[in-house]
């Protein structure tokens, strides 16, 4: 166990060192870095590839929840949300009860960890089950991002024989193969056994155990970029966001040192070389799209900058595939298009930060969002997504892209400070938020997805709702006519019920479900009293502008919640403060630190 603890600690140190190197311009000399004694002589090659030009308002090394997307949104917009009306007669006990429930839910969410009971699981698998898991994984990869693309980059035959050679002293296997192998078992076992299986979950720890040797390897292999990108996603699925960011940085490092980001500056010499480049192009565009999500959803800085004329989009037709499926063509075109549009828009925003209040950049962002909506309409993505005659795996894949686009719209609107005296939630954001919540409800529980669609898209319920629900909360509290926001209140109640139902299949969803339902309880309490007070105000002609007073001891454990409540006495500021505290808890690195528990197992 001590050796295991040391491996995980070493993993963190190596990734942090890599991240520091990535964050420096290539012309800078790396300052001395203190490592443990057993690593002090380990050679390390400083990366010169990842673009050192970062977002002006963020540091690449930032891993504090206070730098998250939600926190920055709170800091920037909170002052504009202090003019809404709420009843002054809300009974204190009702608000106190609702806040205590929310406080308990956030405490549970703050304690969320990688499940420790998975460490005691016997992870020995028969050769038959290993092969079945690898086959399920390969099939799954064939239905991810773009149909039939990413499975090609995986050497399934090699992964199938790993159990036979893993203990052999005569066969040397690259350490990165083991990382990919345990990733494959993680996804494959979840496909076969279903969400929440303890043995499948234990494979994530096997992935982490295999990573230090991979990072220590002196040579980069062709598989490393795909391995880093996949492991980053595996970490996200396991709520391990900080480690996910570090693996993402490693994948960015890979495409730079391999020159993939400038792949087409020099044309290919042969048709064979051109065909081989397409796999690398898909990897680049995948990392570029994920990098945008880290920026817009998780508040991380841009690492990969889009530059035209350096790398082409993947070819729709190639000598190896002259008959692509309709679904592959559609998803490829839409995915590449919205990824490029988003990367260009982020470049434009970062180049015009000093003019973000002059209206020009805001209009550009609005036009960008409308173009994204038109892109989905042109390809009839939502119609196909809801067509029951389509294969279920394709419907879920398209739903993933559709919600991804709407999440981009919400995130990029949050990046731009709203003009003074404007609504905190504009029509574009509200439309996108409603779509995300409704699609999440439709595609997670009713009906429960089967086979290949079930496990991988279960993250719908923990990822996408939190991109959208706070926009609905804000809209409800800012809404003067309660009937107009009744639909949003019903959506929030439905997403809470959906999360509660999903948590019966995966117990690690319980904190998420409790958090949403506790927030809904607070909102419902305020709304009920607004209705009552609205009737009274009609008779007396009086209105109120502040939150009711209530017992602030209910918020004692809120890390960022001010005890004096001076800036949060308005309802929208109050919801933003709750959102800030939730996000800082969900990003706190210590809550997912497996190293602190390993010595006790």
* pLDDT at res. 108: 64
Query: In angstroms, what CA-CA distances link 62 with 74, 209, 369, 561?
Result: 17, 25, 28, 21
Reduced 3-state DSSP string for 272-332: HHHHHHHHHHHHHHHHHHHHHHHHHCCCCCCCCCCCCCCCCCCCCCECCECCCCHHHHHHH
Rounded CA-CA distance 87/536 in Å is: 10
User: CB–CB of 141/191 below 8 Å?
Assistant: no
pLDDT tens, residue by residue, 382-440: 999 999 999 988 999 999 999 999 999 999 998 887 766 677 789 999 999 999 999 99
Q: Is the pTM of this model over 0.75?
A: yes
* pLDDT at res. 506: 76
492, two tokens: 């929030």
Rounded CA-CA distance 241/20 in Å is: 18
pLDDT tens, residue by residue, 223-250: 999 999 999 999 888 877 788 999 999 9
Q: How many CB atoms lie within 10 A of CB 358?
A: 11
* pLDDT at res. 422: 73
* pLDDT at res. 451: 57
pLDDT tens, residue by residue, 115-145: 444 455 666 788 899 999 999 999 989 888 9
> Which residues are within 8 A (CB) of 524 and not within 5 positions of it... i.e. 6 or more apart?
98, 489, 493
Q: Residue 387 — φ and ψ, nearest 5°? A: -85, 110
Query: In angstroms, what CA-CA distances link 245 with 100, 301, 594?
Result: 33, 11, 16
346, two tokens: 């982020």
| Segments of the chain with pLDDT less than 50 | 1-5, 7-8, 21-91, 114-118, 538-569, 587-601
Reduced 3-state DSSP string for 98-121: HHHHHHHHHHHHHCCCCCHHHHHC
Nearest to 51 by CA among 73, 24, 76: 24
Read off the DSSP letter of residue 482. Answer: G
User: CB–CB of 406/435 below 8 Å?
Assistant: yes
* pLDDT at res. 36: 34
Reduced 3-state DSSP string for 561-591: CCCCCHHHCCHHHHHHHHHHHHHHHHHCHHH
25, two tokens: 């311009």
* pLDDT at res. 501: 84
Rounded CA-CA distance 284/101 in Å is: 45
The residue written with tokens 């609205």 in the block is 534
User: CB–CB of 506/196 below 8 Å?
Assistant: yes
Distance in Å from the first CA to the final CA of the chain: 7
Spacing of C-alpha 320 from chain mean position: 33
* pLDDT at res. 515: 80
Q: Residue 318 — φ and ψ, nearest 5°? A: -145, 165
Rounded CA-CA distance 27/285 in Å is: 27
Q: The dihedral of CA 290, 293, 299, 305: what is its sign?
A: positive
Three-state SS for 541? coil
Rounded CA-CA distance 45/492 in Å is: 50
* pLDDT at res. 359: 63
Q: For 526, what's the count of Cα atoms within 13 Å in the CB-facing half-sphere? A: 28
Nearest to 346 by CA among 422, 293, 298: 293
471-484 burial: b if 16+ Cβ within 10 Å, else e: bbbbbbbbbeeeee
Count of positions (residues) in the chain: 601
Q: For 561, what's the count of Cα atoms within 13 Å in the CB-facing half-sphere? A: 21
């Amino acid at each position: 166990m001590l050796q295991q603890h040391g491996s995980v600690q070493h993993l963190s140190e190596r990734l942090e060192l890599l991240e520091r190197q990535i964050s420096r311009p290539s012309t800078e000399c790396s300052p001395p870095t203190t490592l443990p004694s057993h690593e002090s002589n380990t050679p390390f090659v400083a990366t010169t590839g990842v673009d050192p030009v970062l977002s002006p308002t963020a540091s690449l090394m930032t891993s504090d929840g206070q730098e998250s997307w939600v926190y920055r949104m709170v800091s920037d917009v909170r002052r504009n949300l202090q003019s809404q009306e709420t009843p002054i007669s809300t009974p204190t006990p009702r608000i106190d009860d609702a806040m205590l429930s929310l406080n308990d839910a956030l405490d549970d969410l703050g304690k969320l960890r990688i499940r420790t009971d998975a460490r005691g699981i016997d992870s020995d698998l028969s050769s038959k089950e290993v092969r079945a898991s690898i086959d399920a994984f390969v099939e799954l990869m064939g239905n991810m991002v773009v149909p039939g693309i990413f499975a090609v980059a995986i050497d399934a035959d090699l992964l199938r024989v790993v159990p036979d050679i893993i203990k052999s002293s005569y066969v040397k296997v690259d350490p990165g193969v083991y990382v990919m192998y345990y990733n494959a078992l993680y996804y494959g076992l979840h496909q076969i056994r279903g969400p929440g299986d303890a043995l499948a979950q234990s494979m994530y720890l096997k992935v982490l155990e295999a990573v230090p040797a991979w990072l220590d390897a002196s040579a980069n292999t062709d598989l490393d970029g795909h391995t880093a990108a996949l492991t980053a996603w595996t970490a996200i699925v396991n709520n391990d966001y900080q480690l996910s960011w570090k693996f993402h940085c490693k994948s960015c490092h890979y495409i730079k040192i391999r020159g993939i980001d400038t792949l087409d500056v020099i044309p290919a010499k042969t048709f064979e070389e051109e065909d081989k480049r397409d796999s690398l192009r898909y990897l680049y565009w995948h990392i570029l799209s994920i990098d945008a999500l880290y920026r817009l959803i998780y508040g991380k800085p841009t690492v990969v900058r889009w530059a035209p004329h350096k790398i082409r989009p993947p070819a729709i037709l190639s000598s190896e595939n002259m008959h692509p499926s309709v679904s592959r063509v559609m998803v490829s075109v839409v995915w590449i298009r919205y990824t490029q549009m988003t990367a260009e828009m982020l470049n434009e925003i970062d180049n015009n930060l000093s003019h973000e209040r002059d209206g020009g950049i805001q209009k550009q962002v609005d036009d960008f969002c409308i173009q994204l909506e038109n892109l989905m309409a042109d390809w009839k993505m939502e119609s196909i997504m809801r067509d029951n005659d389509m294969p279920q795996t394709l419907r879920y894949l398209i739903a993933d892209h559709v919600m991804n686009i709407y999440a981009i719209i919400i995130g990029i609107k949050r990046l731009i400070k709203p003009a003074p005296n404007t609504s905190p939630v504009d029509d574009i954001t509200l439309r996108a938020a409603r779509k995300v919540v409704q699609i999440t409800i439709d595609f997670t529980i009713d009906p429960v997805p089967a086979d290949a669609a079930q496990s991988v898209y279960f993250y719908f319920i923990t990822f996408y709702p939190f991109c959208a629900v706070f926009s609905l909360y804000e809209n409800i509290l800012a809404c003067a006519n309660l009937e107009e926001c009744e639909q949003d209140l019903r959506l929030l109640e439905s997403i809470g019920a959906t999360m509660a139902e999903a948590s019966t299949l995966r117990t690690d969803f319980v904190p998420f479900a409790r958090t949403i339902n506790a927030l809904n309880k607070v909102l419902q309490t305020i709304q009920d009293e607004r209705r009552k007070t609205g009737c009274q105000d009609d008779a007396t002609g009086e209105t109120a502008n502040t939150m009711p007073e209530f017992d602030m001891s209910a918020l004692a454990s809120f890390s960022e919640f001010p005890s004096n409540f001076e800036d949060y006495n308005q309802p929208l500021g109050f919801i933003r403060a709750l959102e800030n505290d939730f996000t800082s808890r969900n990003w706190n690195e210590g809550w997912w630190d497996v190293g602190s528990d390993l010595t006790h197992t």
